Amino acid sequence: MTDDRRAAGAPTLEDVARAAGVSRATVSRVINGIRNVDPVIQEAVRQAVSVTGYTPNRAARSLVTRRADAVALVVSGAGVEPEAAEEAEGAAASGDRGSFTAQVFADPFFGRVVTGVVGYLRPRGMHPVLMFAESSRAREEVVAYLRQGSADGALVVSTHAEDPLPALIAEAGLAAVLFARPARPVPVSYVDLAHQDGARLAAEHLLARGCRRTATISGPLDVPAGQARLTGFRDTMARHGHAYVPVAEGQFTQESGEVAMERLLAQHPDLDGVFAANDLMALGACHVLREHGRSVPGDVAVVGFDDSSAAPACRPPLTTVRQPVEQMAAEMTRLLLDRLARPDGPVTSVIFEPELVVRDSA
Amino acid sequence: MTDDRRAAGAPTLEDVARAAGVSRATVSRVINGIRNVDPVIQEAVRQAVSVTGYTPNRAARSLVTRRADAVALVVSGAGVEPEAAEEAEGAAASGDRGSFTAQVFADPFFGRVVTGVVGYLRPRGMHPVLMFAESSRAREEVVAYLRQGSADGALVVSTHAEDPLPALIAEAGLAAVLFARPARPVPVSYVDLAHQDGARLAAEHLLARGCRRTATISGPLDVPAGQARLTGFRDTMARHGHAYVPVAEGQFTQESGEVAMERLLAQHPDLDGVFAANDLMALGACHVLREHGRSVPGDVAVVGFDDSSAAPACRPPLTTVRQPVEQMAAEMTRLLLDRLARPDGPVTSVIFEPELVVRDSA
DNA sequence: CCGCCCGTGGAGAGCGCTCTCCGTTAGTGC
DNA sequence: GCACTAACGGAGAGCGCTCTCCACGGGCGG
- Domain range for B25: 3-65
CB A144 within 8 A of CB B55: yes
CA distance to A15, A298, B138, B347, per residue, from A290 (Å): 71, 11, 46, 52
Distance A35 CA to D28 C1' (A): 23
- Taking CB atoms and an 8 Å cutoff, what residues of chain A touch B97? 309, 326
pLDDT of residue B42: 87
β-partners of residue A54 are none
Please indicate, yes or no, if residue B362 is contained in any of the structural domains: no
> Which of A119, A130, A144 has its CB closest to that of B118?
A130
Q: Global pTM?
A: 0.89
pLDDT of residue A33: 80
Domain identity same for B57 and B41: yes
Distance B62 CA to C20 C1' (A): 18
CA distance to A234, A258, A314, B202, B339, per residue, from A262 (Å): 21, 6, 20, 33, 52
pLDDT of residue A102: 74
- Per-residue pLDDT band for A223 (boundaries 50, 70, 90) equals confident
CB B14 within 8 A of CB B24: yes
> What is the rounded average pLDDT of the residues A111-117?
92
What lies within 8 Å, CB to CB, of A224 at 6+ separation is A161, A180, A181, A182, A183, A195
CA-nearest of B266, B267, B216, B262 to B237 is B216
pLDDT of residue A86: 37
> What is the rounded average pLDDT of the residues B176-190?
92
Domain identity same for B330 and B189: yes
Q: Is B123 on the interface with A (CB under 8 A)?
A: yes
CA distance to A92, A217, B118, B149, B270, per residue, from B123 (Å): 9, 37, 9, 22, 53
CB B193 within 8 A of CB B323: yes
- Asked if pLDDT for residue B176 goes beyond 70, the answer is yes
- Asked if pLDDT for residue A145 goes beyond 90, the answer is yes
Is the model more confident about B85 or about A344? A344
Q: Do the chains contact at A59 and B55, CB–CB below 8 Å?
A: no
pLDDT digits (tens, 9 = 90+) for B82-128: 333 333 344 444 445 667 777 777 777 888 999 999 999 999 989 99
> Structurally, how many domains does chain B consist of?
3
Q: Is B291 on the interface with A (CB under 8 A)?
A: yes
Domain identity same for B75 and B185: yes
Q: Is B190 on the interface with A (CB under 8 A)?
A: no
Average pLDDT over chain A, rounded to an integer:
88
Domain identity same for B237 and B89: no
What dihedral angle (degrees, nearest 10) is formed by the CA atoms of A311, A317, A322, A323? Answer: 0
pLDDT of residue B145: 93
- Taking CB atoms and an 8 Å cutoff, what residues of chain B touch A101? 114-115, 118-119
- Asked if pLDDT for residue A39 goes beyond 90, the answer is no
Domain identity same for A97 and A165: yes
Share of chain A above pLDDT 90, in %: 65
For residue A309, give the amino acid letter.
Answer: S
Please indicate, yes or no, if residue A266 is contained in any of the structural domains: yes
pLDDT of residue A94: 47
DSSP for B300-338, please give it. -EEEEEE--THHHHSSSPPEEEE--HHHHHHHHHHHHHH
Q: Chain-centre distance of CA B268, in angstroms?
A: 36
Please indicate, yes or no, if residue A361 is contained in any of the structural domains: no
pLDDT of residue B25: 87
Distance in angstroms (rounded) separating the CA atoms of residues B255 and A306: 20
Sheet order of strands, A301-306 included: A247-249, A214-218, A273-276, A301-306, A319-322, A355-357
Distance in angstroms (rounded) separating the CA atoms of residues B264 and B276: 12
What Rg do the C-alpha atoms of chain A give, in angstroms?
26
Helix axes A279-291, A254-267, angle to 10 degrees: 50
pLDDT digits (tens, 9 = 90+) for A230-273: 999 999 999 999 999 999 999 999 999 999 999 999 999 999 99
Interface of B with A in 228-247 (CB under 8 A): none
What lies within 8 Å, CB to CB, of B128 at 6+ separation is A129, A130, B70, B71, B72, B73, B114, B117, B118, B121, B155
Looking at B42, B65, B88, the residue that finishes a domain is: B65
Domain identity same for B46 and B107: no
pLDDT digits (tens, 9 = 90+) for A44-78: 889 889 989 999 999 999 999 999 999 999 998 76
For residue B242, give the amino acid letter.
Answer: H
Domain identity same for B161 and B81: yes
- Per-residue pLDDT band for B78 (boundaries 50, 70, 90) equals low
Distance in angstroms (rounded) separating the CA atoms of residues A347 and A99: 34
Domain identity same for B230 and B263: yes
CA-nearest of B297, B220, B288, B222 to B259 is B288
Distance B153 CA to D16 C1' (A): 20
The per-residue b/e assignment along A79-96, b for 16 or more CB within 10 angstroms, e otherwise, is bbbbeebebeeeebbebe
> Which of A102, A116, A129 has its CB closest to that of B95?
A116
Q: Chain-centre distance of CA A182, in angstroms?
A: 14
Q: Which nucleotide is nearest to B16 (CA to C1')?
A: C16
Q: Do the chains contact at B101 and A114, CB–CB below 8 Å?
A: yes
Give the phi and the psi of residue B186 in degrees, each rounded to 5: -140, 135
Please indicate, yes or no, if residue A137 is contained in any of the structural domains: yes
Q: Which nucleotide is nearest to A12 (CA to C1')?
A: D16
Q: Do the chains contact at A147 and B95, CB–CB below 8 Å?
A: no
Sheet order of strands, B175-179 included: A349-352, A189-193, A175-179, A153-158, A71-76, A128-133, B128-133, B71-76, B153-158, B175-179, B189-193, B349-352
pLDDT of residue A350: 98
Is the model more confident about A156 or about A309? A156
- Asked if pLDDT for residue B266 goes beyond 90, the answer is yes
What lies within 8 Å, CB to CB, of A292 at 6+ separation is A265
Share of chain A above pLDDT 70, in %: 91
What Rg do the C-alpha atoms of chain B give, in angstroms?
26
Domain identity same for A133 and A77: yes
Domain identity same for B239 and B302: yes
- Asked if pLDDT for residue B36 goes beyond 80, the answer is no
N residues, chain A: 362
Average pLDDT over chain B, rounded to an integer:
88
Look up the CATH number of the domain holding residue B51: 1.10.260.40
Look up the CATH number of the domain holding residue A131: 3.40.50.2300
For residue A323, give the amino acid letter.
Answer: Q
Domain identity same for B32 and B128: no
Q: Is A122 on the interface with B (CB under 8 A)?
A: yes
Residue A317: cis peptide before it, omega within 30 degrees of 0:
no
- CA distance, residue B267 to nearest chain A CA (Å): 24
Looking at A65, A81, A105, the residue that finishes a domain is: A65
- Per-residue pLDDT band for B2 (boundaries 50, 70, 90) equals very low
CB B44 within 8 A of CB B29: no
**What SS3 state is found at B274?**
strand
What lies within 8 Å, CB to CB, of A266 at 6+ separation is none
Please indicate, yes or no, if residue B137 is contained in any of the structural domains: yes
Please indicate, yes or no, if residue A282 is contained in any of the structural domains: yes
Neighbour count for residue B167 (Cβ, 10 Å): 16
Please indicate, yes or no, if residue B29 is contained in any of the structural domains: yes
> What is the rounded average pLDDT of the residues A164-191?
92
CB A319 within 8 A of CB A361: yes
Looking at B65, B81, B116, the residue that finishes a domain is: B65
Domain identity same for A202 and A318: yes
CA-nearest of A106, A132, A361, A141 to B309 is A106
Distance in angstroms (rounded) separating the CA atoms of residues A160 and A224: 10
Q: Is B330 on the interface with A (CB under 8 A)?
A: yes
Q: Which nucleotide is nearest to A20 (CA to C1')?
A: C9
**What SS3 state is found at A139?**
helix
- Taking CB atoms and an 8 Å cutoff, what residues of chain A touch B326? 94-97, 102
Please indicate, yes or no, if residue A150 is contained in any of the structural domains: yes
> Which of B95, B105, B324 has its CB closest to that of A330?
B95
What lies within 8 Å, CB to CB, of A247 at 6+ separation is A215, A216, A217, A218, A230, A234
DSSP for B177-203, please give it. EEES--SS--S-EEEEE-HHHHHHHHH
Q: Do the chains contact at B102 and A89, CB–CB below 8 Å?
A: no
Distance A288 CA to D4 C1' (A): 85
Distance in angstroms (rounded) separating the CA atoms of residues B317 and A144: 43
Distance in angstroms (rounded) separating the CA atoms of residues A246 and A232: 14
Which nucleotides of chain C have an atom under 7 angstroms from any protein CB? Answer: 7-12, 14-20
Neighbour count for residue A8 (Cβ, 10 Å): 7
CB A254 within 8 A of CB B315: no
Q: Is A316 on the interface with B (CB under 8 A)?
A: no
Is the model more confident about B196 or about B1? B196
Residues close to nucleic acid strand C (C-beta < 7 A): A 21-26, 35-38, 41, 60, 63-64; B 5, 9-10, 12-14, 24-25, 28, 31-32, 34, 54-57, 60-61, 63-65
Question: Looking at residue A149, what DSSP letter applies?
Answer: T
Q: Do the chains contact at B63 and A59, CB–CB below 8 Å?
A: yes
Q: Is B359 on the interface with A (CB under 8 A)?
A: no
Neighbour count for residue A310 (Cβ, 10 Å): 24
> Which of B62, B111, B119 has its CB closest to that of A92?
B119
> What is the rounded average pLDDT of the residues B29-53?
85
Q: Do the chains contact at B129 and A132, CB–CB below 8 Å?
A: no
